[in-house]
């Protein structure tokens, strides 16, 4: 390309190579080959040549254009298209903790929805997104967490025309959308439910995160409100990794006088606990009740299905929101609150 052909004089030979060098065919070349104007090619190729919308193009012309495009291997230049239309056909997910399974569920949910609408989902893994988002031109951007120092940058990005969906409970809409989903009230509800049904409930977690610690606090305050405190052997702190969750669950469950129920501070921790219990020969939902937090897909799919607390279909609705924003089917700047509910499933005894 920009390199000079090594020491050669004739650059265009090459034994009749089939590859058309690195010259990318443009819409004009297609037009020339098909014997029509670039406008017509544009109509045909952007699917606007037929249907009720655009200026119907004749069947025969359509075919000629398609053939020419095919023959040249034409692919539209997205950058040029974006300059003209202001759209990139792209949604961006800014994920600070890609190693977190929840992030992957978000990615999965939004990607599926986006793809089905012709949008390309892209991920940006950087907790310091300020710089990178300045440049992006995605049609909609999801931000999974905002650090205090970043809070002020959001409105600026939005005023630039970027459509932001911010998942954070410490922030108010201001030209961008906010998805809020308060977990603490829900956690408390779940713990109360467990304490009502089982006399001896243990807490597995928290892991390292602040979120987890808040969820563990809900356990202790629920106990406190009943005039009780948790014995030491009914609490297992872990570091957040699946293995340490597994190990922590073993520690809780191995002794003879094991608890009757386990409240885990996330679904993923709960899933590890279910596996640990099963490895000890316990029947989950009968010998031991286990519940998690988050109402994740992974928990719902587990066998036995995991009792949990969380919003109804949060991911699906976020995905839908992203698509609607990207396609201008919805105004920006709204607050979306997803209340939490308890989902009782087989892992605490209730059949599915």
Partner DNA sequence: TTGTAGGCGTTATCAA
Partner DNA sequence: TTGATAACGCCTACAA
Residues that bind DNA (CB under 7 A): 24, 26-28, 35-40, 42-43, 45-46, 48, 55-58, 60-62, 74-77, 80-81, 83-85
Q: Which does 272 bind (CB under 5 to 8 A by kind): DNA, a second copy, none?
A: a second copy
Q: Which does 38 bind (CB under 5 to 8 A by kind): DNA, a second copy, none?
A: DNA
- Give yes or no for residue 306 binding a second copy (CB under 8 A): no
Measured between alpha carbons, how far is 102 from 122 in angstroms, rounded to an integer?
17
CB 7 → DNA: shortest distance, Å? 24
Site for a second copy (CB under 8 A): which residue of 9, 135, 199, 256? Answer: 135
Our CB check for a second copy shows the closer of 41 and 157 to be 157
R_g of the chain computed on alpha carbons? 28
**Contact status, residue 293 vs residue 310, Cβ threshold 8 Å:** yes
Measured between alpha carbons, how far is 94 from 124 in angstroms, rounded to an integer?
5
Measured between alpha carbons, how far is 101 from 6 in angstroms, rounded to an integer?
50
CA 200 to chain centre: 36
Kindly determine how many residues on this chain lie close enough to bind a second copy according to the rule CB under 8 A.
57
Q: Which does 22 bind (CB under 5 to 8 A by kind): DNA, a second copy, none?
A: a second copy
Q: Which does 152 bind (CB under 5 to 8 A by kind): a second copy, DNA, none?
A: none
- Give yes or no for residue 159 binding a second copy (CB under 8 A): yes
DSSP calls for 102-113: HHHHHHHHHHHH
Q: Which does 242 bind (CB under 5 to 8 A by kind): DNA, a second copy, none?
A: a second copy
- Give yes or no for residue 98 binding a second copy (CB under 8 A): yes
State the first-to-last Cα distance of the chain, in angstroms, to the nearest integer: 62
Binding mask of the shown chain, residues 226 to 255, with x at each position contacting a second copy by CB under 8 A: ---------------xxxxxxx--------
Site for a second copy (CB under 8 A): which residue of 67, 71, 79, 224? Answer: 79
**Contact status, residue 164 vs residue 334, Cβ threshold 8 Å:** no
Name the pairing type of β-strands 177-180 and 140-143.
unpaired
- Give yes or no for residue 7 binding a second copy (CB under 8 A): no
Stretch that binds a second copy, among 20-28, 60-68, 179-187, 188-196 (CB under 8 A): 20-28
Helix (H, G, I), strand (E, B) or coil at 267: helix
Cβ neighbors of 150 (< 8 A, separation 6 or more) are 129, 130
- Give yes or no for residue 54 binding a second copy (CB under 8 A): no
Measured between alpha carbons, how far is 302 from 310 in angstroms, rounded to an integer?
16
**Contact status, residue 91 vs residue 326, Cβ threshold 8 Å:** yes
Our CB check for DNA shows the closer of 60 and 257 to be 60
Beta carbons within 10 angstroms of residue 134's beta carbon: 12
CB 4 → DNA: shortest distance, Å? 15
Beta carbons within 10 angstroms of residue 206's beta carbon: 25
Cβ neighbors of 56 (< 8 A, separation 6 or more) are 49, 50
- Give yes or no for residue 349 binding a second copy (CB under 8 A): no
- Give yes or no for residue 42 binding a second copy (CB under 8 A): no
CB 82 → DNA: shortest distance, Å? 8
Q: Which does 243 bind (CB under 5 to 8 A by kind): DNA, a second copy, none?
A: a second copy
Beta carbons within 10 angstroms of residue 97's beta carbon: 13
Site for a second copy (CB under 8 A): which residue of 50, 54, 82, 317? Answer: 82
The DSSP output letter for 312 is: T
Q: Which residues bind a second copy (CB under 8 A)?
A: 1-3, 19-20, 22, 24, 73, 75-80, 82-83, 88-89, 92, 98-99, 101, 104, 107, 111, 115, 120-126, 132, 134-137, 155-156, 159-161, 175, 241-247, 272, 275-276, 279, 328, 331
């Amino acid at each position: 390309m920009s390199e000079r052909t090594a020491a050669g004089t004739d650059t265009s030979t090459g034994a009749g190579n089939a590859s058309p060098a690195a010259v990318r065919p443009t819409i004009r070349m297609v037009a020339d080959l098909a014997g029509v104007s670039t406008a017509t090619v544009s109509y045909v190729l952007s699917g606007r040549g037929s249907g009720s919308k655009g200026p119907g193009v004749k069947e025969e012309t359509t075919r000629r254009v398609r053939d020419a495009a095919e023959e040249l291997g034409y692919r539209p230049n997205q950058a040029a298209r974006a300059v003209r239309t202001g759209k990139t056909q792209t949604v961006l997910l800014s994920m600070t903790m890609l190693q977190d399974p929840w992030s992957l569920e978000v990615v999965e949910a939004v990607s599926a929805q986006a793809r089905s609408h012709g949008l390309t989902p892209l991920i940006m893994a950087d907790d310091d997104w300020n710089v990178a988002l300045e440049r992006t031109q995605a049609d909609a951007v999801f931000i999974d967490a905002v650090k205090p120092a970043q809070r002020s940058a959001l409105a600026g990005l939005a005023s630039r025309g970027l459509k932001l969906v911010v998942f954070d409970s410490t922030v108010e809409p201001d030209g961008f959308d906010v998805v809020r989903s308060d977990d603490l009230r829900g956690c408390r509800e779940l713990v109360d439910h467990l304490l009502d049904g089982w006399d001896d409930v243990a807490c597995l977690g928290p892991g390292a995160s602040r979120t987890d610690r808040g969820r563990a606090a809900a356990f202790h305050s629920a106990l406190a409100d009943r005039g009780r405190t948790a014995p030491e052997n009914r609490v297992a702190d872990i570091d957040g990794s699946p293995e340490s969750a597994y190990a922590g669950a073993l520690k809780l469950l191995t002794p003879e006088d094991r608890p009757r129920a386990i409240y885990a501070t996330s679904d993923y921790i709960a899933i590890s606990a279910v596996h640990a219990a099963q490895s000890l020969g316990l029947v989950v939902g009968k010998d031991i009740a286990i519940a998690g937090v988050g109402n994740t897909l992974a928990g719902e799919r587990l066998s036995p299905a995991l009792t949990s607390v969380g919003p109804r279909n949060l991911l699906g609705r976020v995905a839908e929101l992203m698509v609607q924003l990207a396609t201008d089917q919805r105004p920006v700047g709204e607050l979306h609150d997803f209340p939490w509910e308890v989902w009782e499933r087989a892992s605490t005894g209730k059949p599915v």
